[in-house]
A and B are shown apart, each in its own frame.
Chain A
Amino acid sequence: MKLFRILASLWLAACASPALAKLDAKHYELPNGLKVVVVERPGTEVVTHMMWFDVGSTYEPQGKSGIAHYLEHLVFKETEELGVNEYSRRIEAMGGNNNAFTGRDFTAYYVSIGAQHLEEVMDLEAERLQRLQPSQESFDSEKGVILEERAMRIDNQPVQQLQESMLSALFRHHQYRIPIIGWEHEIKALTLKDAMDFYHHYYQPRNATMLVVGDVEANEVYALARKHFGNWRPQPEAKQLLLVEPPRKGEITIKLHHPGVRQPQWLYMYTAPSLGVGDQKIIFPLMVLSELLGSGKTSLLYKKMAVEEQLVIDTGCDYDDFMRGPGTFTVYATPREGASREDFYRAYQHIVRNVAENGVSAEELTRVKNKLKAASVYSRDGNTAIAYMLGQLLVLGKDESYFNRWEDSIDAVGNYDIKAAAALLLKSDPPVAGVLLPEEAK
């Protein structure tokens, strides 16, 4: 009886399962170049409306670091029609939540709200993205806020200070060398004119995608977009020249002694292929390898370094390929007292070399692939998360087909590919190493 019930429930699950349904996103483009993408989720009664600009901190003029992020803050201030904080008050009055974020390659603004308010949201977004007019007073007070934000994210956290320095060493030429929030001294010198120049130059329909996920009808969304954004005047397309990072010879180690540190930490950063740069065929193998090597307590790194050798308290690695420029591969460790960093690095290389030569067992490979593939289900939970990820893909020149191929892409990774990915790690330029230490004894 139990077997029957198990089989029956499996069968039912299979029949009822929408997990296998491919993503359906509808794509439009206005004559002025604004792209409109809609994912319909009927019956949810809520909607997430996002405006993505494929312009981020890498577009900043020299000496004006932080202006893209500063502008993001100012977009919440006065416009031709809206007074100070009027935008956020009106969103709140409709029971909506809103926020924004700036990345290296993009800037995005989003509102989550009851679907019945979509038109009013569009009206407000059109107003601030086309007719922004922040006052000098708003600009000045926001400078303090941004400096506090920088302090919170970076200057008050020794490990973040270290990583900021490491990124500048890893990318000594490419624009990724500059922190998104900006260098403190440059933030302080930014002017309202700098912000508005950036706004007028880059906030235009040719750089923008409207992404709407939720209880909407695609045709209606398109009609509303035409109505509220149809008159948005396009500028000649501004393509930022992304510098190419030259190869690096020689190792760099950055040591940060900080009085606030009690527990040392070790980091190694490499550049790696990304969706924008490098061998696209190695990306999924590298993703799977990264899971095998260093995600959690069953990983090769943890088993060897934390359990067997007892060199570290924790260790792992992280691969970021969602970039227009070079991606990054980072290995990190929290060492035990008395452990040698050279021993750790040698052991890490030994593990990778072993994988490059011998691959991994079928069980290990299957296990990691099962974990990765399930993300395709777990990550479908909610409008905003969906919009966030699809938006990132869109600004990187991809689309929903990347999602629809996700499980197949993972499945296609075999031992041969894992070996090739490991070989790539070994062939890579030397990493930038980072060491966080307590204050040196005087």
Chain B
Amino acid sequence: MRFLIYFLTIFFSVSAQAYDIQTVKAGGITAWLVQDKSLPMVVVRMSFREGGYAWVKPEEQGLPTLVSRTLKDGAGNLKDDAFREQLEDNAIELGFGVGEDEFSISLQTLAEKKDIAFSLLGKALHEPHFEAAAMERAKTELLTAMEQVREDAASLSAYRFAEVGFAGHPYSYSPYGIPATLKNFKGADLRGFIARRFCKENLVISVAGDVSADELKPLLLEAFGALPDRCELAPEVAKAHLREGGEVVRENFDGPQTVVTFGLPGMARNDERFYGWYILNHLLGGSGLNSWLADAIREKRGLAYYIYTSPDSNMRSAQLRGTFASRNETAGEAIKLLKQTIADIRKRGISEKELAEAKKYLIGSFPLQLDTLRSRASFIQMIQLERLGKDYLEKRNGYMERVTLEEINGLVQEYLHPEKLFIVSVGHESRNPEKK
């Protein structure tokens, strides 16, 4: 609760520069910067492309995550806890995380501490200790996390969705690793991962806050200057196709409620028709109570507290993905409603009114996505990772506005096939009266 204490201040500087993105280059490193002096803090989002948990050999499952868990356990001249203590002493928040495709780093610092923040980051990346006891503790944490996935229906549902939906493909790998692989990793393996996957070429950086381009350059060099220019070739990761249709994949879970995760093959982020797809997702299961699925399943029937969908795309796959939870006795019925809602929209098509309302919301609410330094840094990072262009913030609303009714109804016909739904259902099966 402590860290939820928020404080108020007056903005003295008008954030007219909120959308002004500067490209900052230093020594082969490039960062996008949105300078904002309104708060004396700096937020940084960084990613190494092809550093995610899918971009390793099968016997290396879990290695990226293990690295992310141990980088702060001693680095440079700061042994064991001393590294974390330095972070705390300077109120620096440094985090490492791993997704399918990227190894990501987040950094938050007071403006007055930014020099030491980048210096400590550099130490962690270039001189991590990977000391044996710390590694053992991290391995135990990861093994425990794997066990605990099975204790939570929502986590288990998401996990099985990837494991089965992308079976045979690295996107089905366990992000935490598996006992068989985890136990073998030694310091040399972790160093090897860093040497292969951390390089300037794959590094994407976005910065928001109280730092100028000139101030940022030496900081980038401090943290990343020693990285090699290029990475070793990553293991090949083929295109991935989400499993289509077929029987519902069931997993037993001891609880009163079933969590369903579902997906359909979808559209890549860089497809020029993406904005129609994005609007379609909003209508189907985007935010709020008014989406077709929320209306059918929650509002009209009270069968779920939450139901939402998102256009989920990765480097090697694209899908529409959604989830909801419903009591064991009603989950089957909710799945039927899911299929029925999609079948209905295929039949009736989207109306002009629906399209206009969706655009109105998506365009009108856009500023809310950039309301904080953190969300701004994250959004700019997304723009870079998806290669949407430096002018994306100015152009985005126009892309939405130009989607025509014909286009979006074309997407309905092309993509929304209820029989293609891949569905995972995690619940207490013996209490589910309808198994279909």
| Bound: A78/B153 CA distance, A | 34
Residues of A within 8 A of B287 (CB): 97
With A18-B11, A18-B38, A25-B8 as contacts: A151 and B89 at CB distance below 8 Å = no
Number of A-B contacts (CB under 8 A): 262
Interface string of B6-17 (1 = CB under 8 A from A): 111111111110
Chain A 256-271 interface residues, beta-carbon cutoff 8 Å to B: 258-263
**Shortest distance from the beta carbon of B360 to any chain A beta carbon, whole Å:** 6
**A27 → chain B closest CB, angstroms:** 13
**Given contacts A156-B256, A262-B148, A368-B88, A374 and B8 within 8 Å (CB-CB):** no
B267 interface residue, CB < 8 Å from A? no
Candidates B72, B255, B367; contact of A155 at CB < 8 Å: B255
Residues of A within 8 A of B72 (CB): 297
B302 touches A114 (CB 8 A): no
Which among A92, A159, A291 has the greatest number of chain B C-beta atoms within 10 A?
A: A92
Beyond A18-B12, A45-B367, A155-B255, whether A381 also contacts B372 by CB under 8 A is: yes
Contact B81 A382 (CB under 8 A): no
Interface centre among A85, A152, A321, A375 (most CB of B within 10 A): A152
> Which residues of B are found within 8 Å of A321, using beta-carbon distances?
1
Tell me if B84 counts as interface (CB < 8 A to partner A).
Answer: yes
B394 contacts the other chain (Cβ, under 8 Å)?
A: no
Contact with A95, one of B14, B299, B361 (Cβ below 8 angstroms): B361
- How distant is the Cα of A303 from the Cα of B73 in the complex, in angstroms? 12
Binary flags per residue of B263-277, CB closer than 8 Å to A gives 1, else 0? 000000000000000
Q: Which chain A residues border B1 with CB–CB below 8 Å? A: 318-322
Whether A306 contacts B137 by the Cβ 8 Å rule is yes
Are A377 and B365 touching (Cβ within 8 A)? no
A148 to B374, CA, bound (A): 32
The distance from the CB of B285 to the nearest CB of chain A, in whole angstroms, is 14
- How far in angstroms is the closest Cβ of chain B from A115? 10
Complex Cα spacing A297 to B72, Å: 10
Interface positions, chain A 350-376, Cβ under 8 Å from B, are 366-368, 370-376
Q: Is the CB–CB distance between A21 and B9 below 8 Å?
A: yes
Q: Does A240 contact B (CB under 8 A)?
A: no
- Let me know if B304 is at the binding interface, CB within 8 A: yes
Residues of A within 8 A of B289 (CB): 76, 85, 88
Contacts of B110 in A (CB 8 A): 374, 377
Chain A 384-395 near chain B by CB (<8 Å), digits 1 or 0 = 111011100000
Contact residues, A270-329 vs B (CB, 8 A): 287, 290-291, 295-298, 303, 306-307, 313-314, 318-322
Interface string of B120-152 (1 = CB under 8 A from A): 000000000000010001001100100110111
* Residue in B7, B111, B299 whose Cβ sees the most chain A Cβ within 10 Å: B7
Complex Cα distance, B41 from A375, in Å, reads: 11
A368-B91 Cα distance, complex, nearest whole Å: 9
CB-CB under 8 A from B4, the residues of chain A are 379, 389
Once the chains are docked, how many angstroms separate the CA of A393 from the CA of B321? 39
Do residues B364 and A23 form an inter-chain contact, with CB atoms below 8 A?
Answer: no
Measured between beta carbons, the chain A residues less than 8 angstroms from B50 are: none
Q: Contact: B151 with A263, CB < 8 Å?
A: yes
Tell me the minimal C-beta distance from A262 to chain B in angstroms: 4
Known: A92-B361, A155-B255, A156-B256. A6 touches B115 (CB 8 A): yes
A367 touches B88 (CB 8 A): yes
Within 8 A of B (CB), among A97-156: 97, 112-114, 140-149, 151-152, 155-156
Q: A40-B10, A95-B364, A319-B1 are in contact. Are A261 and B290 (CB under 8 A)?
A: no
* Given A96-B365, A114-B367, A379-B5, also A259-B90 (CB < 8 A): no
Which residues of A have CB within 8 Å of B10? 18, 21, 23-24, 39-42
Residues of chain B lying within 8 A (CB to CB) of residue A143: 302
* Among candidates B81, B147, B364, B367, residue contacting A303 with C-beta atoms closer than 8 Å: B81
Rounded to whole angstroms, the CA-CA distance of A264 and B118 in the bound complex is 39
CB distance from B111 to the nearest CB of A (A): 5
Q: Which residue of B lies closest to A436 (CB)?
A: B151
Is A429 engaged at the interface, CB distance under 8 Å to the other chain? Answer: no
Q: Does A157 belong to the interface (CB within 8 Å)?
A: yes
What residues on B are CB-neighbors of A156 within 8 Å?
Answer: 153, 255-257, 259, 325
A46 touches B367 (CB 8 A): yes
Q: Tell me if A43 and B13 are in contact (CB < 8 A).
A: yes
The answer on a CB contact under 8 Å between B2 and A290 is: yes
Q: Is A175 an interface residue (CB 8 A)?
A: no
B272 to chain A, nearest CB (A): 25
Residue A334 interfacial (CB < 8 Å) = yes
For the complex, what is the distance from the CA of A340 to the CA of B90, rounded to whole Å?
Answer: 36
Q: Which residues of A have CB within 8 Å of B84?
A: 296-298
Stretch in A9-17, A189-197, A241-249 touching the partner: A9-17
Q: Is residue B160 contacting chain A, with contact meaning CB distance below 8 A?
A: no
The verdict on B58 contacting chain A, using a C-beta distance below 8 Å, is no
In the complex, A44 has a CB within 8 A of chain B: yes
The answer to whether A389 touches B111, judged by C-beta atoms less than 8 angstroms apart, is no
| Chain A nearest CB, measured from B17 CB (Å) | 10
Judge whether A406 and B151 touch: CB under 8 Å.
no
Verify B40–A377 contact, CB threshold 8 A: yes
24 contacts between A and B (CB under 8 A): A13-B210, A16-B40, A18-B12, A18-B13, A43-B13, A46-B367, A92-B365, A94-B364, A95-B360, A95-B361, A95-B363, A148-B326, A155-B256, A157-B255, A313-B140, A314-B141, A334-B144, A367-B89, A375-B7, A378-B108, A379-B7, A381-B372, A385-B372, A386-B6
6 smallest beta-carbon distances between A and B, as pairs: A95-B364, A144-B302, A374-B91, A43-B14, A379-B6, A389-B6
- Seen from chain A, the residues whose Cβ lies within 8 Å of a Cβ on chain B are 6, 9-10, 13, 16-19, 21, 23-25, 39-46, 76, 84-85, 88-89, 92-97, 112-114, 140-149, 151-152, 155-159, 213, 258-263, 287, 290-291, 295-298, 303, 306-307, 313-314, 318-322, 334, 336, 366-368, 370-386, 388-390, 400, 403, 406
> 11 extra interchain contacts, Cβ-Cβ under 8 A, other than A13-B112, A152-B306, A382-B374?
A13-B111, A13-B210, A85-B295, A95-B368, A146-B305, A148-B303, A371-B88, A373-B91, A377-B39, A377-B40, A379-B3
